[in-house]
Amino acid sequence: MGKIYGYARISSKSQNEDRQIIALNNFGVEQIFVDRQSGRNFNRPQYKKLLRKLKAEDVFVVKSLDRLGRNYEEILEQWRVITKEKGAAIVILDMPLLDTRNKKDFLGNLIADLALQIMSAFAQIEHDFIRQRQAEGIAAAKARGVKFGRKPLPRPKNYLEVFSQWKNGILSARKAAKLLGVSHFTFLRWAKADDKK
């Protein structure tokens, strides 16, 4: 019997992986890898690290299929890599049917393969719906006049004097920014906007 590895993933800083970690620990995993990024693709540092460690007879455990990923074709490809190329087993805690530790007969394998394809498709559909709802929410908020991003930095009281000296070649942009206590980039953005007026 090989090692038991756990994998958890959250999409944003506002989410919490505790629920996944508890489930993985309850299963008895020896080491947990956590990524804090989208499941859109598998270009994730901790996932890649775990994949490099996986050997034949190891077990890859994840709470639910959507924590593994949300791209239908890539989930199926990674499943093949883990089970066929690496020779490891996969356990999806929320879907016991997708536990590859047990050698199944032809019908059992067929049912598991169909379940994997259906669940992978649902994971991608859910991801697409989330993105669509976010885009619709942002569009609706913009239509109501909601502004996104940070509030613009107010120009200091001595800005016009410094801007004039910069425009007349007396000050460099870096020196002007330093006098105003802002970044070089911020000063150039202001100057570019005001230069057009």
Q: How many whole angstroms separate alpha carbon 78 and alpha carbon 148?
A: 37
Structure token pair of residue 129: 């719906």
What are the φ/ψ torsions at residue 170 (nearest 5 degrees)?
Answer: -80, -35
Residue 33's DSSP bridge partners are 7
Distance CA 32, CA 182 (A): 43
Q: What is the DSSP letter of 82?
A: I
Tell whether the torsion through CA atoms of 156, 157, 163 and 169 is positive or negative: negative
Mapped onto helix, strand or coil, the DSSP state of residue 193 is helix
Beta bridge partners of 92: 62
Nearest to 189 by CA among 171, 158, 170, 163: 163
Residues serving a catalytic function are 11
At 146, list the tokens: 């909601």
Structure tokens at 151: 């509030």
